[in-house]
């Protein structure tokens, strides 16, 4: 493994770069990708962001969005594979296991390009030459900013880049509410604002651009689909494909829903189960010491952070929910213990 500062030497000459991030990118994934993309373009490199799948419309405002290639969209696979094969450098952001980028992972793994890993997830795989990894970092976006500063290039962060990075930090800290919101996070955010980040506008673009359908779906989910287990300190939503159709749901409409279950007083673990064409996708959240990434790995072929994890199973919604109800009964004594509070997304 090379020292991350050696990467600065490589970047002294123009490079052919691919930037990629995890499937179903969130604001940290896309904000980190387009943040570093705008910086790399500005400093004379050729760069392309390739995402494994598409992402919600409320992220489309980021500068450079129009140039993002979505790997699994029509006609893009071959183009993406060619770019990956011919790249000098591949930046892998906000994930640390090539399985998280689906089929794109094989192409990245096979490419002769030097790989750069910048991430904050647990248990990173060993596939990159240059690694900037910190599980204690609230977001990948703040690592991107710290790296640009380490390179002595803070002045290359313009307001568009600052907006992208601010978005990632804001969402991965739950709008500066989670315990991962450290003094350093506020200091970095203050610097981003001084570089031109439009903090209030970024917040509006991400959180306050709901469709009426989405708000009605939220109301329906809260009144009809939330199940609370007071004794076990757990709660979950189970959402069927029919529910999603009924409210004309778009990609991203269930984003943040799980937090309403976690916000019920006394709840230590919350889940969101969403029925898909080929099984059930789930999101898990917890407060304190209870590790949902371990649970996600053990029962749901997933992983993530201690207090925010996810997974996907090839089982129906009902079967998955029944399994979860069994699990919470089994773990009810641990779920009562919520001393140390930490949240990472």
By CB atoms closer than 10 A (0-12, 13-18, 19+), residue 13 is exposed
Give the CA diameter of the chain: 61
Identity of the residue, 15 or 96, whose beta carbon is nearer to Mn ion in the bound complex? 96
121 binds, among ligand 5GP, Mn ion, none (CB under 5 to 8 A by kind): ligand 5GP
158-177 residues near Mn ion, rule: CB under 5 A? 172
Kind and range of the H or E run holding 320? helix 317-330
DSSP string, 2-31: B-TTHHHHHTTS--EEEEEE-SS--HHHHH
35 binds, among ligand 5GP, Mn ion, none (CB under 5 to 8 A by kind): none
Query: Is the distance from CB of 115 to CB of 90 less than 8 angstroms?
Result: yes
Q: What is the Cα 66 distance to its own chain's centre?
A: 20
Candidates 89-97, 103-111, 226-234, 242-250: pick the segment binding Mn ion (CB under 5 A): 89-97
CB of 175 vs ligand 5GP, minimal distance in Å: 15
Instruction: List the one residue from 94, 232, 243, 255 that touches Mn ion (CB under 5 A).
Output: 94
Identity of the residue, 28 or 232, whose beta carbon is nearer to Mn ion in the bound complex? 28
Q: What is the Cα 190 distance to its own chain's centre?
A: 22
308 binds, among Mn ion, ligand 5GP, none (CB under 5 to 8 A by kind): ligand 5GP
CB of 73 vs ligand 5GP, minimal distance in Å: 20
The site for ligand 5GP (CB under 6 A) is made up of 121, 283, 302-305, 308-312, 345
DSSP string, 144-194: HHHHHHHTT-GGG--HHHHHHHHHHHHHHTTTTTSTT--HHHHHHHHHHHH
Candidates 87-95, 128-136, 228-236, 249-257: pick the segment binding Mn ion (CB under 5 A): 87-95
CB of 303 vs ligand 5GP, minimal distance in Å: 3
Residues 6 or more apart in contact with residue 1 via CB below 8 angstroms = 128, 129, 130, 131
137 binds, among Mn ion, ligand 5GP, none (CB under 5 to 8 A by kind): none
310 binds, among Mn ion, ligand 5GP, none (CB under 5 to 8 A by kind): ligand 5GP
Which residue lies nearest ligand 5GP, judged by its C-beta? 310
Identity of the residue, 288 or 310, whose beta carbon is nearer to ligand 5GP in the bound complex? 310
Identity of the residue, 195 or 308, whose beta carbon is nearer to ligand 5GP in the bound complex? 308
**Helices and strands of the chain, counted as H and E runs:** 14, 12
Instruction: List the one residue from 17, 19, 20, 28 that touches Mn ion (CB under 5 A).
Output: 28
* Tokens found for residue 29: 């994934």
CB of 301 vs ligand 5GP, minimal distance in Å: 7
d(CA 323, CA 307): 20
* Tokens found for residue 60: 């489309």
d(CA 159, CA 149): 15
Residues forming contacts to Mn ion in the complex (CB under 5 A) are 28, 94, 140, 172
């Amino acid at each position: 493994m090379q020292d991350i500062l050696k990467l600065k030497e490589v970047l002294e000459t123009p490079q052919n770069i691919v930037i990629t991030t995890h499937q179903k990118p969130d604001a940290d994934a896309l904000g980190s990708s387009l943040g570093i993309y705008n910086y790399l373009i500005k400093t004379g490199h050729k760069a392309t962001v390739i995402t494994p799948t598409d992402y919600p419309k409320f992220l489309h405002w980021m500068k450079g969005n129009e140039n993002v290639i979505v790997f699994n969209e029509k006609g893009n696979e071959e183009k993406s594979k060619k770019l990956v094969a011919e790249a000098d450098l591949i930046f892998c952001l906000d994930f640390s296991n090539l399985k998280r980028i689906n089929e794109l992972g094989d192409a990245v793994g096979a490419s002769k390009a030097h790989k750069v890993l910048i991430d904050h997830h647990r248990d990173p795989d060993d596939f990159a030459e240059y690694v900037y990894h910190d599980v204690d970092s609230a977001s990948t976006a703040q690592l991107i900013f710290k790296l640009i500063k380490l390179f002595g290039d803070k002045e290359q962060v313009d307001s568009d880049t600052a907006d992208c990075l601010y978005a990632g930090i804001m969402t991965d800290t739950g709008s500066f509410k989670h315990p991962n919101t450290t003094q350093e996070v506020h200091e970095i955010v203050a610097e981003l604002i001084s570089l031109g980040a439009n903090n209030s506008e970024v917040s509006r673009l991400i959180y306050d651009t709901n469709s009426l359908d989405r708000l009605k779906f939220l109301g329906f989910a809260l009144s009809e689909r939330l199940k609370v287990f007071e004794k076990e300190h757990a709660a979950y939503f189970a959402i069927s494909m029919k529910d999603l159709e009924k409210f004309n749901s778009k990609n991203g409409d269930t984003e943040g829903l799980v937090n309403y279950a976690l916000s019920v007083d006394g709840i230590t673990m919350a889940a969101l189960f969403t029925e898909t064409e080929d099984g059930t996708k789930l999101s898990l959240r917890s407060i304190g010491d209870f590790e949902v990434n371990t649970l996600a790995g053990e029962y749901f072929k997933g992983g993530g952070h201690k207090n925010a994890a996810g997974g996907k199973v090839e089982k129906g919604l009902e079967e998955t929910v029944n399994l979860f109800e069994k699990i919470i009964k089994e773990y009810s004594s641990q779920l009562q213990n919520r001393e140390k509070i930490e949240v990472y997304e």
